[in-house]
């Protein structure tokens, strides 16, 4: 039986060699945030969207969608559920990505670093709303 040679890149590296030599600081990369859109019905049956009042810069005191920075080694969905629970005490099921945005092209002030904003549509599963 013939043994197939492991593929090598243009530098002659196997995948294991490439990964061992990879310098993650070589390229600038954006930070990632998740922002959640959670719809619900109020007691009169009217469609509502959940908003939080910002506690931090930018726009302290203004209304916004719940959201936050993505933690390393967690999926977008895991970060989404974590942020809604932290900010509102609610359990959600992320449904789908509804938008991806370059923060510096849409939100002042411009940051000195790149930020990719991922907007997620979520279904409310449970929990007790807590004002942040």
User: Percent of the chain having pLDDT more than 70?
Assistant: 93
What pTM, to 2 d.p., does this model score? Answer: 0.71
> CA-to-CA distance for 119 and 103, rounded, in angstroms?
12
> CA-to-CA distance for 55 and 62, rounded, in angstroms?
8
Residue 90: is it exposed, middle or buried by C-beta count within 10 angstroms (0-12/13-18/19+)?
buried
The least confident of 39-48, 63-72, 98-107 is 98-107
Contact 54, 60 (CB under 8 A): yes
Q: What is the mean predicted confidence (pLDDT) over 93-112? A: 81
pLDDT of the residue at 97: 94
| Confidence check: pLDDT of 106 > 80 | no
Task: DSSP letter for 55, please.
Answer: -
pLDDT band for position 18 (cuts 50, 70, 90): confident
| Confidence check: pLDDT of 112 > 70 | no
């Amino acid at each position: 039986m013939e043994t197939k040679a492991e593929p090598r890149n243009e530098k002659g590296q196997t995948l294991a060699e490439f990964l061992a030599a990879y310098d993650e600081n070589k390229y600038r990369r954006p930070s990632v945030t998740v922002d959640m859109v959670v719809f619900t019905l109020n007691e009169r049956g009217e469609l509502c969207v959940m908003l939080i009042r910002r506690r931090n810069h930018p726009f302290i005191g203004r209304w916004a969608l719940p959201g936050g920075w993505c933690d390393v080694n967690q999926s977008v969905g895991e970060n989404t559920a974590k942020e809604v629970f932290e900010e509102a005490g609610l359990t959600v099921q992320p449904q789908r990505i509804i938008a991806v945005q370059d923060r510096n092209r849409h939100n002042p002030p411009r940051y000195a670093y790149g930020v990719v904003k991922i907007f997620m549509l979520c279904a409310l599963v449970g929990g007790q709303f807590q004002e942040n």
